[in-house]
Structure 1
Amino acid sequence: MRTQIVPIASIMAATAANNFLAFAINVLAAKNLGVEGFGIFSLAFSLATLLGVFGDLGFNLSMVRLFNKYQADPEKQTYVLGSALGFKVLLLIAVATVSFPLGGVLARHMGLDPGAQGLFAIALFTGGLLFIWSYFQSYLQAHRLFRHLAAYILAYMGLRSLFLLVAYRFSSENPMAWLMATYTVPLVVLATVGVALKGWGAIMVAVGRPGASFPILKELLGYGKWVAISAIAYTAMPYVVRFILAIRGSLEEVGIFSAGMTFALVFSTLNTAIRAVFFPQVTAFQEEQVRVFLARLNRIAPYYAVFVVFGVAALGLMQWLLLGAEYRTALPVFLVTSVALAGVIFLGFRTMILHTLMRPEVDAYVNVIRLALTALLAYALVPEFRAPGAAVAYGLPLLIGEGYMSWYVARRVKR
């Protein structure tokens, strides 16, 4: 276990640095693009992220799991890696083929000018590149090349920083330049290098033996269905809110909502780090350990509440000072979403027990319902309450869903 401390710490440090850069990118984009420009940039980024999540299809977790399952059969491990990458490359080609016409359809549907077609086309292509980048990360995890993974994450950060400087110097008021500099071009470089160095041989083996590859592909799809449903629904929630804001509100309101969420996502980043550390331990608990764990959570709840109050106050002050008067109306969005995400973090310790109980479908069903409720609330609240209404539409289902899963865990553990 001690031998893993350094590589795990290096991955956490690299991820934290890259997340901080993403935070800085959003702050700089908000200040340089203005409210409307930042709104358009946020829509394009949302589209890319959503497509990246949809295109994963739960493959990343499934690939790592099946790679370990077949550790006594290296040939099947190669089929697992090759089948997953081959499928994702085909998806990327399909996305690239339809990106430009589909970008135009999306721009017209949202009432944007024709210039947004190219931006949305680039966003769709960027989402396709995320298929390959996420595969590459899972490949390194499967082989337990943690130092390599940390190095590639830092390389991603370095490329984004480099191209951001270029975009900032020559085209600081163009949303497409910001998207391409901070996501598209770095992902093209990493995807090309990753496939060339790590994945091409596995693809060739999988293509050469389709009779052996198709059953593996079927197993990948079957294992990942609950993971995919849950991840897609949960990830889609804030982006669906943005799209409804663009249609039922305005681009300015999308910018306001995105600015408020930028600071609230500090809690989301904290949640990701906590789950990465505790999830493997919690899911290995026995029945009595689960009860002890839940009792400890109850005892630390007041201390966590104090931490949240101070954290929200500090981040709210930062938003007030950094973004300036143009974004002061984003403060209610930040307050609502940060409190919701902070609550989800704490309740998430309890709901991790769902996987200890081997009930991942509960998480999937709840997230699908949360997504539907978010869309309905946003559609109803946005015309009158604008960005703050969108924040309520996002935050309330988050808390309700996590609260229900927490209650479900408590009921099952008492049996």
Structure 2
Amino acid sequence: MQKYLKNMGWLTGEKLLDIFLRLVAFLLVAKALGAEGYGMYAYAFSVASIFAIAGHMGVEGLITREIVKFPEDRPTIVGTTLALKTLGYVFGVVLLVAYAFIVPSHSEVERTLLILAACTIIVQPIITINSAWFRAMVAARNYVIPNTVGGIFGAILKITVVSLGFSAVAVGMSQTIAVALTAVLAYIVYSWRGGPKLQECKFDTAYARRLLSEGVWVMIGSVMAVIYLKIDIAMIRIFNGSELAGVYSVSATLSEYAYFLPAAVVTSFFPRLVELFSQDTTQFNNRLQRLLDAIVSLSWLLVVGVAVTGTIIIDELLGADYQQAISVLWIHILALPFIATRNVLSRWIIITKLTKFSALTQGAGAAINVLLNVILIPNFGAHGAAIATVLSYAVASYGVLYFNRSTREIFRMMTKSQLQPWRGFGELKSTFLEMRRQLRNG
């Protein structure tokens, strides 16, 4: 247990530093570019996130599980995964570039930003392999370091370019350079800290088929998840223009900064859940309930904290251009408890191999989100998009679980946690106290 708490400490510490630097850069960029300029930048990189999902291949969580369970096959796991993800990301880049030039309403600035965003996709395979390998090894520091250095460099570069009066294109270029640096560092750390050498890795066609057959439903689910997380900015840009897209993006970005902490807790304990599932079902269910309790309690603390601090940040630092973002943030942040428990559900689905159901739930959420966006955005603008986000997550990450016999038990566990959000405070406190003790002891 101490290993997992220390691992979570690295994840949390890295993200806190990363968030602070990115937050400073984000605020300076949003203020310097104004709502319209920031809206174009946010639109381009949101659309890129949607096309980048082609490289997910549904194997992100699966390869962590495979590395843990089959240590003798690690070169094959790494080699096959790297090849699959490279093909997927290249395909996503081709589609994104085509989209940039096909859509007639794109301005030259938006097209340039979309091309720069495409460049960040092509280097993702090595970043993914580094992350999956060291997650399986429960050695968070080894993928924390590249991400932190790349994040620091990117934040400094963005602050520099906006301070010098450069436009949204220069900010996009800064983001591209920072991601490229992260990829280079990820490869160096992966090679240095004992990952299988890439020249020793091999592609196995039969293994690729098996991985894809299991991952296909996860991939479909991931596509749907990204759609209902990122499609709102694109739809606001289409219906209401870049300025309102910038306003909504500020609210969504502040809200999304809170997602990291529940995700870090869940990610760090995932290998332990894999072990317990194969050893003792009762212990696995008890650990799962305690994890859900802690995640829900943490989420509601973050909801209150983000609503208060976000209001102050927008009002005092961003000014009149973004005043509407305050009320949008108050709505958008209410999705957090469902997003946080979705992190737990996604790991549970991977462990229990109910990947088809994952795709169905994500598909339901995406469909509801798009439908509600079409109805609400023309009438309520950014507020309508925030409402659509909350409702779609509530349905896809919680409500639909009741209607399937295989997921009804975890639905009951989630209900217990959601209806009694105070249940996890004790677990949360003891977890973070122990984590702090482990970090102090090295």
| Band of TM-score, shorter chain | 0.7 to 0.9
Cα distance between partner residues in 1 of 2:401 and 2:227: 22
Structure 2 spans left out of the alignment, 5+ residues:
413-442
Corresponding residue number in structure 2 for 1:239: 230
Task: Say if 1:132 and 1:121 are closer, same or farther in 2 by CA, change over 3 A.
Answer: same
Q: CA deviation at 1:36?
A: 0.7
Cα distance between partner residues in 1 of 2:112 and 2:6: 43
Task: Give secondary structure in 2 for the equivalent of 1:112.
Answer: coil
Corresponding residue number in structure 1 for 2:170: 177
* Residues 171, 177 of structure 1: 8 Å contact kept: no
Task: Say if 1:324 and 1:367 are closer, same or farther in 2 by CA, change over 3 A.
Answer: same
Q: Does 1:128 align with 2:122?
A: yes
Corresponding residue number in structure 1 for 2:206: 215
Aligned residue identity for 2:370:
A
Cα distance between partner residues in 2 of 1:371 and 1:303: 26
Task: Say if 1:138 and 1:252 are closer, same or farther in 2 by CA, change over 3 A.
Answer: same
Aligned residue identity for 1:242:
I
* Residues 299, 337 of structure 2: 8 Å contact kept: no
Number of residues of Structure 1 aligned to a counterpart in Structure 2: 402
Corresponding residue number in structure 2 for 1:188: 180
Task: Say if 1:33 and 1:389 are closer, same or farther in 2 by CA, change over 3 A.
Answer: same
Cα distance between partner residues in 2 of 1:156 and 1:228: 27
* Residues 271, 345 of structure 1: 8 Å contact kept: yes
Q: CA deviation at 1:143?
A: 4.8
Cα distance between partner residues in 1 of 2:87 and 2:259: 32
Aligned residue identity for 1:317:
I
Corresponding residue number in structure 1 for 2:45: 45
Task: Say if 1:341 and 1:2 are closer, same or farther in 2 by CA, change over 3 A.
Answer: closer
Please say which of residues 122-131 and 138-147 is displaced more in the overlay: 138-147
Q: Does 1:389 align with 2:384?
A: yes
Aligned residue identity for 2:60:
N
Corresponding residue number in structure 2 for 1:61: 61
Cα distance between partner residues in 2 of 1:410 and 1:390: 29
Q: Does 1:272 align with 2:258?
A: no
Q: CA deviation at 1:358?
A: 4.9
1:368-407 pair list within 5 angstroms: 368-405=363-400, 407=402
Cα distance between partner residues in 2 of 1:44 and 1:368: 23
Summarize deviations over 1:309-356 as a string: whole Å, max 9, x none.
465234333332222121111122111111122354368668876567
Summarize deviations over 1:61-104 as a string: whole Å, max 9, x none.
22222223331x3xx32122122223333445555566644422
Task: Give secondary structure in 2 for the equivalent of 1:19.
Answer: helix
Corresponding residue number in structure 2 for 1:249: 240
Aligned residue identity for 2:142:
H
Cα distance between partner residues in 2 of 1:319 and 1:69: 47
Aligned residue identity for 1:89:
T
Structure 1 length-normalised TM: 0.82
Cα distance between partner residues in 2 of 1:354 and 1:343: 16
Task: Say if 1:9 and 1:197 are closer, same or farther in 2 by CA, change over 3 A.
Answer: closer
2:252 to 231, 244, 261: 261
Structure 1 spans left out of the alignment, 5+ residues:
none
Corresponding residue number in structure 2 for 1:88: 85
Task: Say if 1:82 and 1:202 are closer, same or farther in 2 by CA, change over 3 A.
Answer: farther
Cα distance between partner residues in 1 of 2:108 and 2:64: 42
Q: CA deviation at 1:225?
A: 2.4
Task: Say if 1:25 and 1:407 are closer, same or farther in 2 by CA, change over 3 A.
Answer: farther
Task: Give secondary structure in 1 for the equivalent of 2:210.
Answer: helix
* Residues 351, 405 of structure 1: 8 Å contact kept: no
Please say which of residues 401-410 and 4-13 is displaced more in the overlay: 401-410
